[in-house]
Amino acid sequence: MRLPVPVLCAVTASLLLSACGGGGSSTPTPAPPDAGPICTQAVASSPVQLQSVPAAAVGAPDWSAPRVPGRVLLLGSLAAQSVTTLAGVVTQAVTDGVRLALTPAGTDDRAFAVTLQQTGLRVQPDFLYAPLANPNDPGVPGNAGVPISGAGTFTQSYLTRVRAPQAWTFLQSCGKTPVAAKTAILDSKVEAGHPDLTGRVAGSASFLSPDSGGSDTSTGHGTASAGLVGAATNNGRGVAGVTWSGPLLAVEVLGAAGGSTSDLARGLNESVRQGAKVINMSLGLPGDPGDAVLAQALTNAARSAVLVAAAGNTAGDGVYYPASHPDVIAVGAVAQNDGQLACYSARPSAARPRALNIVAPGGAGNCPGATNAAQMLILAPGGGYTLGAGTSFAAPLVSGVAALMRAANPALSAADTKARLLASVNGAAGQPLLDANAAVRAATR
């Protein structure tokens, strides 16, 4: 979930590399490690329970919500009557217990669903999720660009605000390195060849359906998310990720036209299959579409992975889905003021009271008083750097800290990692601000 920013730090890739610190980062570096014992590692004395949503608790599908036309999703086993109704209909497996059915030509999707429901089948749309949105500002990667002479030097001030350098130093003093547990980035295509991702992308998978518009190679949304979690660090180049090393899994579920329920469900299942311990989802859909297929995939994934999602980029629509799922950490954004939500950040509403779990810097966007210095310094396509804003860029900071926690103490379960992370927030300014240092200390106690 990405927002346009007033001015972006960029003209060409070569200018960006120097203007944004390519020849040597001014990102804060940790102090030398202090001598000290290896930190103790303990697990919770009692198990932490997931808050999974029973299938019956998922609302009725909202057929007015964005969806992929020309197909529906079938849930559960097929009875004999259903098999007869589906004769001649093209279907394919999506996940266990879920099949995709192409709507016959000349038939409305909703009418087709009603026919199938009359045979006892559970049917829903293949909802369409998006990074919200791909802005058209000239300086955003993939657009014409803004020729700004002497754009200046920008630093990752958000790292100090979430106390990442202190977390790094603490881990080093415990005899550990700031390494990440395997983290899946469910997003648009990640540019694994970006110089600041060298050696970090350990695997990739793509689940784009033909209706996703092909790979999104222009906005760099997935590359930016991956870089915030795990840009190569302490290498004298560009920017630092929250984690210094460790495997990233690039899972392409968003194309140029967004990503569907079936794309996301496959991506979640593959992330779990490949052993991801943290899954970042900088994507969403306003409201609660009644997406039972994605709800089940999230519930299944939460058994082994910490799930993190951007809360949304509109202030009046409540927390977006899937961030509003109870097993997902819903991440809001702060701009310049750590005690105040950014003007664009999703938040609870009267109609949708689901609260944010945590907030992190996401850039000022077009909020009043926004400046370039208040935006997020992120990776851009073509090996460059740019500025951006949105809850999309707050969520990966949380994912990165969760990955540090699970690597520092592999005995922690996903649920216990989530509980310790959320219990360690810094509320001094009035918002539950991510505190990397407190979180990694909590993980090793």
Single out the catalytic residue among 173, 345, 392, 399. Answer: 392
Strand-strand pairing, 358-361 and 328-334: parallel
Query: Which of 212, 333, 345 is CA-nearest to residue 267?
Result: 212
179 in Cβ contact with 246 (< 8 Å): yes
Q: What is the pLDDT of residues 382-409, one digit of tens each?
A: 988 888 999 999 999 999 999 999 999 9
Q: Is the pTM of this model over 0.85?
A: no
Q: Residue 374 above 70 pLDDT?
A: yes
Cβ neighbours, 10 Å, residue 42: 11
* 133-137, 189-193, 372-376, 401-405: range with lowest mean pLDDT: 133-137
- CA 197/CA 195 separation, integer angstroms: 5
Q: Mark whether 187 is an active-site residue.
A: yes
Q: What share of the chain is helix, strand, coil (3-state, %, to 5)?
A: 25, 20, 55
- CA 343/CA 374 separation, integer angstroms: 13
- CA 366/CA 362 separation, integer angstroms: 12
The tokens for 183 are: 């983290």
Single out the catalytic residue among 109, 187, 263, 416. Answer: 187
The tokens for 253 are: 């579920």
Q: Mark whether 325 is an active-site residue.
A: no
User: What pLDDT score does 135 carry?
Assistant: 32
Q: Mark whether 215 is an active-site residue.
A: no
Single out the catalytic residue among 126, 188, 209, 221. Answer: 221
User: What pLDDT score does 136 carry?
Assistant: 30
User: What pLDDT score does 35 carry?
Assistant: 32
